[in-house]
Structure 1
């Protein structure tokens, strides 16, 4: 199906029931899309899929791909290239199908094996730390998503982000690695600093160290981000 022939409602399949996939699936379902299936392997991922996507069939990866107009690949980055090429080798991809991955460090070049089968590639990364619970669905509102796609279908990727409540930010293919490094630096550094501060407070007998630090950390981060958006001081 050509992008310009699509109705507003897509049959969406989710591959990967970690912390990200079911949340995006729930958001897309809330926007009116139909979830046709989710591929979940581990017991914890099946439980998460059941909690966030009740009633959505648990399918194998090939079954999800074969039944979907939009396939969301929410798998670890190191598994993504092999998954895409493996589905191409088995002839599973469908002509005109939309395929979206959520890996920060990849653009759409990773979809090359699928593109040769007629797949329309989209790279969409939500810049958010996920818990894998229903709380995340609400947190998507206002979250920025890095979007990379071929120019003719970029509006499709942007529209999907808006439907999930997010704010699309276009990131060029060549800049995805730098974008991923910035995301990892922010999330990893923040977690490490908080863990270190909590440990120091616990060492001196402070109870509820996390609750004590929460207002401080939130306000400090918000102030730092406000300064960043305001630009350099004169």
Structure 2
């Protein structure tokens, strides 16, 4: 039976993890047979190799969840997926720990950890930036409660995307409304120049995906991509 006394849980910034593990191993802080767990999304178990050589049993258990540091975090673990990497002989122990926390294990190969973590950061971390930026722009446009306006819209968009992927794409880029996109960029340059680069990057990516999935007609895509290239080079004053 696994005892909590046999478990060491490391929660430090990703970049600090390698040196911390080396320090634990060098100072004799790791006992043979002790489970050593980290929650970094970036790393698998290879980062724990110094401790493994000292006899520790390495596990990588990353909750795919955002946390606030408040009591709501415990509730969010219920049903949360964990990106799990473990030696074959420790898979059952890793699974038991995740299930005990109320989570669902999702096995990630060691070599796929950086890609796995990049995917989560792209979806979750950048979403916060996009939503916050959108609320700021709505406030400048005179919307009194941007959160109320965006909540239902973003909830529906997220649900559609999770259900249908690229087929859920809507809006002026997916429709090929080049004039509307040019007007957007012009307004952003006037009122929020810091948002232009992100808008252009996302618009180009959205256009590429819509075109690849047959949602955007090629003749409209040509005009749209031309607008995006022109607005980037000429300052967007079209």
TM norm structure 1: 0.69
Pairing partner for 2:127 from 190, 195, 205: 190
Q: CA deviation at 1:219?
A: 2.0
Q: CA deviation at 1:189?
A: 2.2
Q: Distance in 1 between matches of 2:70 and 2:148?
A: 21
1:87 counterpart = 2:37: no
Name stretches of at least 5 consecutive residues in structure 1 with no aligned partner.
1-6, 12-67
Q: CA deviation at 1:188?
A: 2.4
Matches within 5 A, 1:28-177: 68-177=5-114
Secondary structure at the aligned position of 2:68 is classed as coil
> Aligned residues, how many?
170
Q: Deviations over 1:36-72 (max 9, x none)?
A: xxxxxxxxxxxxxxxxxxxxxxxxxxxxxxxx31011
Higher relative contact order (CA 8 A, sep 6+): 1
1:204 counterpart = 2:141: yes
Q: CA deviation at 1:183?
A: 0.9
Question: How large is the Cα RMSD of the aligned pairs?
Answer: 2.0
Q: Which residue of 2 aligns with 1:40?
A: none
Q: CA deviation at 1:154?
A: 1.0
Q: Which residue of 2 aligns with 1:53?
A: none
TM norm structure 2: 0.67
1:215 counterpart = 2:152: yes
Identify the structure with the greater strand proportion: 1
Q: Indicate the structure (1 or 2) with the bigger Cα radius of gyration.
A: 2
Q: Distance in 1 between matches of 2:76 and 2:12?
A: 20
Identify the structure with the greater helix proportion: 2
Q: CA deviation at 1:212?
A: 2.3
Q: Which residue of 1 aligns with 2:116?
A: 179
Q: Which residue of 1 aligns with 2:161?
A: 224
Secondary structure at the aligned position of 1:104 is classed as coil
Task: Flag as ranges the 4+ runs of structure 1 deviating above 6 A.
Answer: none
Q: Deviations over 1:98-148 (max 9, x none)?
A: 011000010000001000110000001111111111111111111110000
Q: Deviations over 1:207-232 (max 9, x none)?
A: 2212321222122112211224x9xx
